[in-house]
Amino acid sequence: MFELGFASHYHYALARFRVWTREAQLTFKALVSNRISVAGLIVIVVVALSALLAFVLASEHPDYALVGGTLQERWAIDLGSTLQSPTFGHPFGTDQLGRDIFSRVLYGGRLDLVLPLEVILFSALIGVVVGGIGGYFERFIGEALMRFTDVFLAVPSIILALSLVAALGASLNHVVLAMIATWWAWYARLLYGETRRMKHRDFVDVGRSSGLSGTAVFFKHVLPNVFAPVVIQATSDMGTAILAIAGLSFLGLGASPGTAEWGLMISESQNYIFGAWWYPVFPGIAIIVTVMAFNLLGDGLRDVLDPTARRWQSRAVPEKTHVAEAKKALQGASRMVGLLLGVRNLSINYHTFEGTVQAARGVSFNIHQKEAYGIIGESGCGKSTVAWEIVGLLPRPPGETISGSIILRPHRASASDFVDLRELSVQEMNRIRGNRIAIIFQDVLDSLHPSYRISFQMSQTYLLHQFDMLLQIATNEIRGAYQERNCPVCGSKLESGSWICHGCFTVVDPSPDKRRTMDEAPEEFLSYSQRREISKYRELNKRYRDTGLGPDRPPSRRLDSICRKLVARDLRRVMVPAPERTIDLYPFELSGGMRQRVVIAMMMACNPQLLIADEPTTALDVVSERNILDLLKEFKESLGISILLISHDLNVIRRFCDRVGVMYAGRIVEEGSLDQVFRHPAHPYTEGLMQSRPLIYENGQFATRGNLYVIPGVVPDLKNPPPGCLFADRCARTSPICRQMVPEPVAVGQNHFVACHNSGGGPGS
């Protein structure tokens, strides 16, 4: 039993050691690849080695004597070489007692690196214990520890440190104790907030639900995720600690006279600044360079120590542009009638320290006006990556677009006016995002800001992209132009003062005799305040025409009221109950289905040409899923928009889309109409997807089927993909050519394309 127990513990320890070694390697690679952190790290290593090897590099060395129980430095005095300027023998010159400044700077690095390190280590250790316990046990223990911490935070740290040093006596040891006593509270408060934020995360609740004790949950789930901010803060605080110790020594409260310490050396040089400039300059340079190095290292660690950010740090060169390829795509698009969006030969990489992930390779498809195009495939096949690149939100780093173009017809009335979205500037893309192209992300709760109410978040869409409409409505309200009239769309009667049709939710203009433009001057019968308000709106309208984007906050109370009415209207369009009450709620006060409707209302506020729905029914029940799909279909038919629907749910695609593209391992392997792909799949991967779909009712009767079909094998590693067809290892029709050449899309029917060397037509489900 002992041998078995020892063996199990040995293998466990060995496995953990391998994991830690791997994590250390990745962290080191990430640290080295970050130029900012490398610069700081190199300087710190040079300073530390210089201080450590001072007995070799220095030309003069101190003697050490025990004075009053403290080991103090004693430097040899040479009155014959006082205050000499820098020479070959004395690179930094000499001081008023003839001591070599270069040697003293080297030895001073020992104190000015070791003492701040002691301060940071002990302060962080105390802060981690106090803050971690206080954050995890929030009630009596947490409150007591935090109120005790607040006592130290309420007193200025420098005043408390000076008081402690003055009470204990001038000594470097007392300086260290005084700084620890004043600094630990900041780390405690940092850990307290991070621990409270982390302990309520879902993965921590999963650990509790599995039966882990509170101690295990804290050390395994909470502490590893809050430790990174402490390390980052500690690295940045090293520079502050160096300055603090040097400052106290400068005031005479730190190192004893004669000790090689950078702050004390500057203090001793006060009387010789104008006659011996080198005396304070070189110790000052040592302080500045070392402090900046630690700050640079802290900035680099901020991008490295977070496991999620570290994994996606890019080593890639800047993104490549392909102007000739984009021009060719634009010329080809001008000949296609009804084309709205065209993706041409899009290839995207994600650069990681474990290798380059080929997320998308040669992706091409078209979306026509008033069409619903669906992309299906397993998780990780590149569907969302393509969607992010279309709207210009691909994270860089780690993402890099290798080739391809994305062409869009930005104006409904134009037949040949196409632009390449990849060639647009950030400002130009901002005018398109949310206005011409809208996107619904997978995680609805993360799509809504938890700190703002629904009304504020939805109002930003109108303010940014329909600011001229808001100003026109406000101006007409001031002029009293909204009289009783009929809606030109549905014929409903609008009351006086109303500008939203309650039948079709259309913004109805005033009658022709009351209609005015923004360029017209205010009428004389208006009051002074009304004319002044109209003039203000005219100036805002001119600014909006120049920039193309409005403000993100309502500039007046009237515009805020107009935005709230539009928000309530759009919430009614998506069938949100009691919209007047919902607009003042926060996102976390709504259910998942209601949040999804709010996001759809926000995206549809400007009636975009293209709506990208990335897994819009994720985490919804069957009833809510059907309602959301029906709602999107209603918008498609009533507003004439195009929709790109991304999903791995085949039933969602079949219920909604007109044409379908099947993606596998970053490539589109089949494309065709809904009937062609679902009933006559030509690619083996598509056949497997169709066979794995559960059917309950088929051909007028209940389907009889046993276990569902499972596609054999796994998706290949996209960091090192095999040559040829990526589905070859999982395919039953593999031939030698499949492992040698990548199949190109070929037509197997009218507008039905498949990328397979041995394509066939299996009966669909």
Residue 762 has pLDDT above 50, yes or no: no
- Mean pLDDT across the chain: 80
- Mean pLDDT confidence for 612-638: 77
Cα–Cα distance list, 510 to 104, 479, 515, 606, 673 (Å): 84, 11, 5, 21, 45
Of residues 582, 623, 622, the one with CA closest to residue 602:
582
Q: Tell me if 763 is assigned to some domain.
A: no
Q: Specify whether the CB–CB gap between 316 and 351 falls below 8 A.
A: yes
Residue 207 has pLDDT above 70, yes or no: no
Q: Tell me if 705 is assigned to some domain.
A: yes
Q: What is the pLDDT of residues 241-251, one digit of tens each?
A: 888 888 888 87
How far apart are the C-alpha atoms of 8 and 2, rounded to whole Å? 10
Residue 628 has pLDDT above 70, yes or no: yes
How far apart are the C-alpha atoms of 701 and 317, rounded to whole Å? 58
Q: What is the pLDDT of residues 155-192, one digit of tens each?
A: 777 777 777 777 777 777 778 888 888 888 888 888 88
- Mean pLDDT confidence for 128-133: 86
Helix axes of 467-479 and 557-573: crossing angle, nearest 10 degrees: 110
User: How many domains does the chain fold into?
Assistant: 4
Q: So what's the pLDDT on residue 375?
A: 92
Helix axes of 101-136 and 35-52: crossing angle, nearest 10 degrees: 120
Buried b (16+ CB within 10 A) or exposed e, 494-517: beeeebbbeeeebebbbeeeeebe
Q: So what's the pLDDT on residue 122?
A: 92
Check residues 29 and 226 and name the one with the higher pLDDT: 226
Q: Which of 598, 621, 653 is the last residue of a domain?
A: 653
E strands present in 409-538: 419-420, 437-440, 485-486, 493-494
Helix (H, G, I), strand (E, B) or coil at 256: coil
Helix (H, G, I), strand (E, B) or coil at 336: coil
Q: Tell me if 408 is assigned to some domain.
A: yes
E strands present in 6-48: none
- Mean pLDDT confidence for 537-559: 85
Of residues 758, 667, 765, 751, the one with CA closest to residue 709:
765
* Same domain, yes or no: 688 and 702: yes
State CA 449 to chain mean position distance. Answer: 14
What is the band of 707 on the pLDDT scale with cuts at 50, 70, 90? Answer: low
Q: Tell me if 26 is assigned to some domain.
A: no
How far apart are the C-alpha atoms of 765 and 763, rounded to whole Å? 7
Cis peptide before 397 (omega within 30 of 0): yes
Phi, psi values for residue 356, rounded to 5°: -95, 120
* Same domain, yes or no: 330 and 362: yes
Phi, psi values for residue 77, rounded to 5°: -100, 130
Q: Specify whether the CB–CB gap between 388 and 658 falls below 8 A.
A: no
Q: So what's the pLDDT on residue 419?
A: 84
Buried b (16+ CB within 10 A) or exposed e, 654-676: bbbbbbbbbbbbbbbbbbbbbeb
How far apart are the C-alpha atoms of 447 and 457, rounded to whole Å? 10
Q: Specify whether the CB–CB gap between 370 and 658 falls below 8 A.
A: no
Residue 318 has pLDDT above 60, yes or no: no
What is the band of 321 on the pLDDT scale with cuts at 50, 70, 90? Answer: very low
Residue 410 has pLDDT above 80, yes or no: no
How far apart are the C-alpha atoms of 396 and 392, rounded to whole Å? 10
Q: Which of 311, 334, 358 is the last residue of a domain?
A: 311
Residue 264 has pLDDT above 60, yes or no: yes
Q: Which of the given ranges, 64-73, 115-124, 337-346, 458-467, has the highest pLDDT on average?
A: 115-124
* Same domain, yes or no: 305 and 319: no
* Same domain, yes or no: 258 and 288: yes
* Same domain, yes or no: 267 and 163: yes
Q: So what's the pLDDT on residue 354?
A: 72
Q: So what's the pLDDT on residue 411?
A: 63
Of residues 286, 229, 295, 231, the one with CA closest to residue 37:
295
Task: Return the DSSP state at 520.
Answer: S
Q: What is the CATH number of the domain that holds 341?
A: 3.40.50.300
Residue 128 has pLDDT above 80, yes or no: yes
Q: What is the pLDDT of residues 492-504, one digit of tens each?
A: 888 888 888 887 7
User: Domain range holding 685?
Assistant: 658-754
Residue 726 has pLDDT above 50, yes or no: yes
Q: Tell me if 18 is assigned to some domain.
A: no
User: Which of 1-10, 40-49, 282-291, 730-739 has the weakest average pLDDT?
Assistant: 1-10
Q: So what's the pLDDT on residue 2?
A: 42
Q: So what's the pLDDT on residue 5?
A: 47
Angle at 335 between CA 329 and CA 337, to 5 degrees: 115
Q: Tell me if 68 is assigned to some domain.
A: no
How far apart are the C-alpha atoms of 559 and 13, rounded to whole Å? 64
- Mean pLDDT confidence for 638-667: 86
Q: So what's the pLDDT on residue 464?
A: 84
Q: So what's the pLDDT on residue 671?
A: 92
- Mean pLDDT confidence for 77-94: 86
Cα–Cα distance list, 181 to 117, 160, 596 (Å): 15, 9, 50
What is the band of 730 on the pLDDT scale with cuts at 50, 70, 90? Answer: confident
* Same domain, yes or no: 625 and 549: no
The 3-class secondary structure across 594-629, one letter per residue, is HHHHHHHHHHCCCCCCEEEEECCCCCCCHHHHHHHH
The residues that bridge with 438 in the sheet, in sequence order, are: 611
Q: So what's the pLDDT on residue 322?
A: 52
Q: Which of the given ranges, 293-302, 354-363, 626-635, 667-676, has the highest pLDDT on average?
A: 667-676
Q: So what's the pLDDT on residue 317?
A: 41
State CA 83 to chain mean position distance. Answer: 56
* Same domain, yes or no: 600 and 638: no
* Same domain, yes or no: 140 and 185: yes
Q: What is the pLDDT of residues 20-47, one digit of tens each?
A: 566 566 566 666 666 777 788 888 899 9
Q: What is the CATH number of the domain that holds 170?
A: 1.10.3720.10
Residue 450 has pLDDT above 50, yes or no: yes
Q: Which of 629, 653, 677 is the last residue of a domain?
A: 653
Q: What are the structure tokens assigned to 445, written together?
A: 């709760």
Of residues 131, 130, 187, the one with CA closest to residue 157:
187
What is the biggest distance separating any 2 CA atoms in the chain, rounded to whole angstroms? 112
* Same domain, yes or no: 509 and 585: yes
Percent share of the chain, pLDDT over 70: 83
Q: Which of the given ranges, 230-234, 305-309, 403-407, has the highest pLDDT on average?
A: 403-407
Q: What are the structure tokens assigned to 205, written together?
A: 């609740």
Of residues 383, 390, 360, the one with CA closest to residue 718:
360
Buried b (16+ CB within 10 A) or exposed e, 148-182: ebeebeeeebeebbbebbeeeebbbebbbbbbbbb
What is the band of 415 on the pLDDT scale with cuts at 50, 70, 90? Answer: very low
Q: How deeply is 549 buried, as exposed, middle or buried, from its count of CB atoms within 10 A (0-12, 13-18, 19+)?
A: middle
* Same domain, yes or no: 292 and 254: yes
Q: So what's the pLDDT on residue 23?
A: 59
Phi, psi values for residue 601, rounded to 5°: -60, -40
* Same domain, yes or no: 499 and 350: no
Residue 133 has pLDDT above 50, yes or no: yes
Q: Specify whether the CB–CB gap between 635 and 659 falls below 8 A.
A: no
Q: So what's the pLDDT on residue 764?
A: 39
What is the band of 661 on the pLDDT scale with cuts at 50, 70, 90? Answer: very high
Phi, psi values for residue 514, rounded to 5°: -100, -10
Q: Tell me if 502 is assigned to some domain.
A: yes
* Same domain, yes or no: 482 and 593: yes
Q: What are the structure tokens assigned to 721, written together?
A: 């993909």
How far apart are the C-alpha atoms of 281 and 291, rounded to whole Å? 15
How far apart are the C-alpha atoms of 361 and 352, rounded to whole Å? 17
How far apart are the C-alpha atoms of 263 and 250, rounded to whole Å? 5
Q: Tell me if 3 is assigned to some domain.
A: no
The residues that bridge with 507 in the sheet, in sequence order, are: 500
pTM equals 0.68
- Mean pLDDT confidence for 653-682: 89
Of residues 371, 354, 377, the one with CA closest to residue 363:
377
